[in-house]
Structure 1
């Protein structure tokens, strides 16, 4: 038993956290290859290494996943101070970490550093594919940097092959990206964001972000774009690019008469806040959302104007109303806050009203003991507690949006 415990203790020293030992890098020049400050880490690794996000079999492990900044030519390598060999611990083997990554990425990978460095100058010939939708400057460290946003479909020459490399970032930064999207489906739209910079008087590009949108059918002859994924890479986050990216998508959808409204698929909390901010900022200009009308409650004019002007769907329009009403509510006035709280909770209570209807139906077909089991956890106190939790969570989100609106 003691020997087993000792072996277990020794083997635990060979467990590494995948998020900590993977370094991703966008390389513009040979000097970037050796500059650790250019690297950044993944946000998620469970989709490759399991829920614990562990890699077994190494000490001092460093995994280098480098891309040339424009063409995204990839290089993959690992270094470590110690690695378990097959004959060390009764045949226990280290994870074949490079194979796990290369199999998941499903693209040709350069495994020789000199060959990778030789490929870097090829980026000078890169030009983004697709339609240029928007370009904008950003001030940074007393210099002005320039950015461009493009829209592609999969049949744009050269884009399908580029997309195979582009989508590999999803494994590291989009939770639950269980598989690549079907790029043979022509209902997908793709948006790319690049930094444009000059080298020896010639334009060059570096990837900043990537987004995908699926055009769902909307009866009888419209489409309903659903934003699936939006990613701004870590070196460019917290700089306003997410807002510029989303606003450009919105403007493109709104210019299309076939688009009914805009939806979002399973958004992250950060994306929810970004979307709320943009929609609130836009709706503040609408007559239905003026300060004097908000305390009177949500109405059809709000939904209609948000849809017609900004293609905001009804559910999101209601959320925008709640945020903007909170903005004009006097928080020091108990009566105003009570009226606001009751208004929001009335909406939150809708699922429980459905449960009440279901209860009446079940009463007719279930025995008393079966009915009790079916409705467990839906009593008055449980419902009130749940509503209060939902309400407080919303207030946290809403206040963050209002703080950003106040700084705009």
Structure 2
């Protein structure tokens, strides 16, 4: 029976086609389609959809307001009467759990909604605008970053459609509680001229930031969700959006520092780039001072000027010191490596001290039972591995600093 039903199993990521539609012609333009990076949050852990042959799931969004169209097609569907009651998956039921109410299933109604998109203007306050010239030599493109709150007129219905993208591109994503007015939003739009000559907008990226309370009368904004839609990646948009977030909160005296919630490797790299570019302008981070090691002055200036916390300031110091280290000079390079390894080794040293204390108060057999610590050789190997990984990450940030 299992082998007979194999042709009814389809990879959800292969079946799902996503589009950001600007004009009617885009509906038939396969070049602008893009697949999800994951779908286990919708179709289950194995990401398969069962019960259909030649399954295609079309998830189209108008580029500006993100009005959504859901189309499901197939050539054959499992008949429970012929399979002992085995039923096909309820595709729309799964999709309905993550889509905003009001999605369309009629393509003609979706085409009509494209007309309304022509009059779309972004919600919120314009915070930053910038232009990008693609690496492939294409035309210069203009983008704008807008700030919104839960009380911004018209924003929440738009955000309800926007957040759907998290399910396809951010692992372990969840929808936020928009009843909490401490949430703030930064949305990036491409601003372009239509073929008719009118100004139009297209959604490109967004981020959510939560304003946490910090004793006694301060706030600590935390960047939470960050997403650049696939057609707009590799354009430097996320870095520009993060700088806009910084610029918004840096001037607020009650803000203690700006943090990031569980950043991915890619986002941490962008954060490092933005922070390093900013800190390069500070007196404490000039090359002559970097060679003397991380100082309180660095932490203080990074926090007071750019709201960067001490841990991140230390990381930026390490990046900028490497950038200004002559790695051909063995003495200079060794001094840098030892400085970083001393920091990386601190947790191991702390654990060693804790074990020494235990050894003094426990019986030999009891102490032996607690031994899970690695030997000296293994610890040194782990330390070297940590350092190599870290330097590799730092060099990627430095490359971007030097070329962009």
TM-score by length of 1: 0.92
User: Which residue of structure 2 lines up, in the alignment, with residue 120 of structure 1?
Assistant: 114
1:17 to 11, 23, 28: 11
What's the counterpart of residue 181 of structure 1? 176
What are the superposed Cα offsets for residues 109-159 of structure 1, whole Å, 9 maximum, x if unpaired?
Answer: 211112211222111222111111012233456534322111001011111
Supply the distance in 2 between the matched residues of 1:282 and 1:109 (Cα, whole angstroms).
Answer: 42
Which segments of 5 or more consecutive residues in structure 2 lack a partner in the other structure?
Answer: none
**Which residue in 2 is equivalent to 1:273?**
269
**CA distance in 2: counterparts of 1:373 and 1:85, whole angstroms:** 60
d(CA) in 1 for partners of 2:276 and 2:46? 38
- Alignment-derived partner of residue 347 in structure 1: 343
Equivalent position of 2:83 in the other structure: 89
- Structure 2 equivalent of residue 156 of structure 1: 152
CA RMSD of aligned residues (A): 1.9
Is residue 298 from structure 1 mapped to residue 309 from structure 2 by the alignment?
Answer: no
Q: Kindly provide the CA deviation profile for residues 338-378 of structure 1, in whole angstroms up to 9, marking residues without a partner as x.
A: 22222111111222233234324544665544533433143
SS at match of 1:101: helix
Aligned-partner SS, 1:87: helix
Which residue in the other structure is 1:98 paired with? 92
53 and 358 in structure 1: CA distance in 2 versus 1, 3 angstrom threshold:
farther
Distance 1:132 1:299 in 2: 37
Does the Cα contact within 8 Å between 1:25 and 1:65 map onto a contact in 2?
A: yes
Q: Deviations over 1:196-229 (max 9, x none)?
A: 2234343221111111001112222111111001
Which consecutive unaligned segments of at least 5 residues does structure 1 have? 1-6
CA shift at 1:84, angstroms?
2.3
Q: Could you tell me how far apart the structure 2 residues matched to 1:244 and 1:49 are?
A: 34
Tell me the TM-score normalized by structure 2: 0.93
1:382 corresponds, among 354, 378, 381, to 378
Q: Distance in 2 between matches of 1:372 and 1:185?
A: 51
Judge conservation of contact 1:77–1:98 (CA < 8 Å) in 2: no
TM-aligned CA distance change 1:329 to 1:47, over 3 Å? same
Confirm whether residue 196 of structure 1 aligns to residue 206 of structure 2.
no
Q: CA deviation at 1:163?
A: 1.5
Taking the TM superposition and a 5 Å limit, the aligned residue runs for 1:127-146 are 127-139=121-133, 143-146=139-142
Q: After superposition, what is the alpha-carbon deviation per residue over 1:173-192, rounded to whole angstroms, capped at 9, x for unaligned?
A: 11111x21111111111011
* Residues 158, 314 of structure 1: alpha-carbon distance in 2 compared, 3 angstrom cutoff: same
Write out aligned runs for 1:250-265 (5 A): 250-265=246-261
Question: CA, structure 1 residues 331+144, in 2 after alignment: closer, same or farther (shift >3 Å)?
Answer: closer
Q: How many residues align?
A: 401
Deviations along 1:236-279, one digit per CA (max 9) or x if unpaired, are: 11012112111111111112122111111111111111111111
1:3 maps to what in 2? none
Secondary structure of residue in 1 paired with 2:311: helix
Q: How many angstroms apart in 1 are the aligned matches of 2:362 and 2:205? A: 54
Question: Whole-Å Cα distance in 2 between the matches of residues 364 and 187 of structure 1?
Answer: 50
**What are the superposed Cα offsets for residues 286-326 of structure 1, whole Å, 9 maximum, x if unpaired?**
22112122222111111111112211110011001111111
CA distance in 2, matches of 1:372, 1:210: 52
58 and 357 in structure 1: CA distance in 2 versus 1, 3 angstrom threshold = farther
> More deviation in 69-78 or 366-375?
366-375
